[in-house]
Homo-oligomer: A and B are copies of this chain.
């Protein structure tokens, strides 16, 4: 086995076709949903031959998941963020600091991943991410329940709520985001509405706590 030093000419594409396909696909998925989006159409609109797409992606599903890989992995990690002691300090709950943190995070996330969230929340039918919404709610619910257990361990005044209701609250949060996305609410308005939501949600929840 000889080792030789060789000059190799490499060709690098400036306009990345991969990117074009992802962008076009994203639009098509947004417009028709995963299942009803057509590979043929994507090929045409990307100005790429149908077969060639499969040089870049294993299949339709891979295109979809790659479009969404970043926000999905972020959302999978997010619950770890709220696992700190800080979030169990009743003071921080009462004075609204926690609310504020979640609030800020929500805003940022929604603004950064508008279309991706749309895809995940109501365009994923038929893809391997079809149950993303449920999973998301479930994960958040789990985290909430965990949080509640810890909370009740720490504090004498116990909070009682059915698991279903906690589930509902989380679903309600996701649903709020859904509404924001479906109506293409822009950032400023969104902040305003989200405040309203947090207010509403907070006081409803307060009442449940103090029951």
A196, CB-defined interface residue at 8 Å:
yes
Q: Which of A168, A171, A182 has the most chain B CB within a 10 Å cutoff?
A: A168
The answer to whether B179 and A171 have CB atoms under 8 Å apart is yes
Binary B-proximity of A185-211 (CB < 8 A = 1, otherwise 0): 100010011001101111111111001
The answer to whether A7 and B6 have CB atoms under 8 Å apart is no
Instruction: Compute how far the CA of A88 lies from the CA of B172 in the bound complex, rounded to whole angstroms.
Output: 27
Instruction: Compute how far the CA of A202 lies from the CA of B203 in the bound complex, rounded to whole angstroms.
Output: 10
- A33-62: which residues lie under 8 A (CB-CB) from chain B? 33, 35-36
The answer to whether A8 and B10 have CB atoms under 8 Å apart is yes
Instruction: Compute how far the CA of A142 lies from the CA of B169 in the bound complex, rounded to whole angstroms.
Output: 24
- A20-37: which residues lie under 8 A (CB-CB) from chain B? 33, 35-36
Instruction: Compute how far the CA of A193 lies from the CA of B164 in the bound complex, rounded to whole angstroms.
Output: 7
Instruction: Compute how far the CA of A30 lies from the CA of B14 in the bound complex, rounded to whole angstroms.
Output: 40
A94, CB-defined interface residue at 8 Å:
no
Known: A196-B162, A208-B196. A14 touches B4 (CB 8 A): yes
A204's partner among B5, B15, B165, B200 (CB-CB below 8 A) is: B200
As for how many copies of this chain the complex holds, the number is 4
A99, CB-defined interface residue at 8 Å:
no
Interface residues on A, range: 35 or more
Q: Which of A33, A204, A208 has the most chain B CB within a 10 Å cutoff?
A: A204
State the Cβ distance, A45 to closest chain B Cβ, in Å.
16
A8's partner among B8, B33, B134, B167 (CB-CB below 8 A) is: B8
A74, CB-defined interface residue at 8 Å:
no
**13 further A-B pairs in the complex, CB-CB below 8 A; given A4-B11, A200-B208:** A2-B13, A4-B12, A8-B8, A8-B9, A35-B36, A161-B196, A164-B193, A165-B196, A167-B179, A168-B179, A168-B193, A171-B175, A200-B204
Ordered by A's residue number, 19 sampled pairs between the chains whose C-beta atoms are within 8 Å are A1-B14, A1-B15, A2-B13, A4-B11, A4-B12, A5-B10, A6-B10, A35-B36, A162-B196, A164-B193, A165-B197, A165-B200, A168-B179, A169-B200, A171-B178, A200-B208, A202-B204, A203-B207, A204-B207
